[in-house]
Structure 1
């Protein structure tokens, strides 16, 4: 498999279908918002959403009725408060019922590693004295056959599709990440298919170390050039975090009608080209 270059609409239509398990990763930085909006526009439903730290983009996907389940290890609007669309779906089944499966960060990271390695589960030291095993039946304990030690085990994460954002891809389809990264590499390697949105496509990466190429072209399904595609999160070297948007999201998401109006104006009637203007507005 060698990465193909295509539009965002083509990438989502060819890779994502109803009922899929989707991972959209990026830790405070390089969060793939533009791709999330395209999933909403295409009306894809019954998704199992996986993310270590679901924030605004998952609030939007859940509020748009795209999700049936969320697998996560922390959820909130960073620095602001709750995800109101997530809470409304889980507590009141609006617009659809939402199932949740909560883990620790360590469990999620290890589960992605296990998925990337083709293993059925992740085994690690964790959850000792924690209460999550009481409410999450996918947390088990096993005995180490060598030491007799009790270890935690969780299912490997093997998404149907992983979506991430990066700074650059070259024309061979290799992908360059710079700055803070989370579990993007592991999430892509664990998935059957992947969509990588990037700020720009270049001839080559110049003098940058080959070690910065976290994803070679053979590990990627689709590459899409979407300038500003991580807004309102940031992309190092391109634009800063739009803190004003995160603050503004709280009152938008609190009210169903306000949220629906925002969704119609900015997502349903929008497109990936809208993110380029947001990138210009947040440079510096």
Structure 2
């Protein structure tokens, strides 16, 4: 049942060294504030899971938090590489990183299988592709009814999932608007789930009944962090900080500059700083990244 907690407490209560953890978001609602709090608390040996790892996983890998990355695309969206991830894979810096790469379809199906309590996901996929040659967790399977050759991958079942959302009500239900991606399934598949939200409202009365709502019994903790998705956007709240993504390409490319930036903008920062970072974006203005 959801508890309202300060972000530092929510992270400390639900994330542990060695966990399989998903910080999920697709295009928007990326849980940046939660990831930064995890970085500040110094967790280690994590298996990071996500359909589309971007800046926050680049930062977590660069800080030596990850032993493995399970993903279907890794990049700085609209810009290029994740340079800290590449450094870890190619050079073992700051430590070696195991990677398990899938397609988007495989990751989405694997999350759904985890949410349904199934051991694996079976789907049409990987025909003509050679990813199975480098990923032993992609297995061929024959349909017992038609004889069709299909693909199977293990279900994704995180120890804990973190997402960002627009609203929670005072009972602890969470409302997610805009592009949903796989956040709902990532929460339902996890043992524990932490949600950062833009605001808390009395109720969701008057809203469309088909909006995505995560009931309070699916969530472990809720933390109120306005702007907590920056530099990604939150539909209906603030725009994407495009300048931050461009800037990150230069920051992430240099080990020393990366560490200095992380020390100033993450290690010394606080969750409440995010609100100021999106003020100009709420008005539709351009804002240079400081997060």
TM band (smaller chain): over 0.9
> What residue in structure 2 maps to residue 139 of structure 1?
138
Shift of 1:181: 1.2
> What residue in structure 2 maps to residue 102 of structure 1?
101
Whether the 8 Å contact between 1:60 and 1:85 is mirrored in structure 2 is yes
Q: Distance in 2 between matches of 1:127 and 1:134?
A: 11
Q: Distance in 2 between matches of 1:124 and 1:67?
A: 29
Whether the 8 Å contact between 1:238 and 1:279 is mirrored in structure 2 is no
Matched, 1:164 2:132: no
> What residue in structure 2 maps to residue 221 of structure 1?
220
> What residue in structure 1 maps to residue 89 of structure 2?
90
Instruction: Answer with 210-219 or 238-247: which moved more.
Output: 210-219
Aligned runs of 1:112-127 on 2, under 5 Å?
112-127=111-126
Runs of 4+ in 1 over 6 A off after TM superposition: none
TM-superposition CA deviations, 1:2-37 (whole Å, max 9, x none) = 110001000000000000000111111100000000
Shift of 1:205: 1.9
Matched, 1:9 2:2: no
> What residue in structure 1 maps to residue 263 of structure 2?
264
Whether the 8 Å contact between 1:69 and 1:99 is mirrored in structure 2 is yes
Q: Distance in 1 between matches of 2:280 and 2:129?
A: 44
Q: Distance in 1 between matches of 2:189 and 2:113?
A: 8
Matched, 1:179 2:178: yes
Whether the 8 Å contact between 1:174 and 1:213 is mirrored in structure 2 is no
> What residue in structure 1 maps to residue 289 of structure 2?
none
Q: Distance in 2 between matches of 1:18 and 1:203?
A: 36
SS, match of residue 58 in structure 1: helix
State the TM-score, normalized to the length of structure 1.
0.98
Instruction: In structure 1, list runs of 5 or more residues that go unmatched.
Output: none
Shift of 1:210: 3.2
> What residue in structure 2 maps to residue 44 of structure 1?
43
SS, match of residue 13 in structure 2: helix
Matched, 1:275 2:274: yes
Shift of 1:209: 2.1
Q: Distance in 2 between matches of 1:213 and 1:144?
A: 33
Instruction: In structure 2, list runs of 5 or more residues that go unmatched.
Output: 285-291
Q: Distance in 2 between matches of 1:234 and 1:206?
A: 25
> What residue in structure 2 maps to residue 62 of structure 1?
61
SS, match of residue 127 in structure 2: coil
State the TM-score, normalized to the length of structure 2.
0.96
SS, match of residue 161 in structure 2: strand
SS, match of residue 86 in structure 1: helix
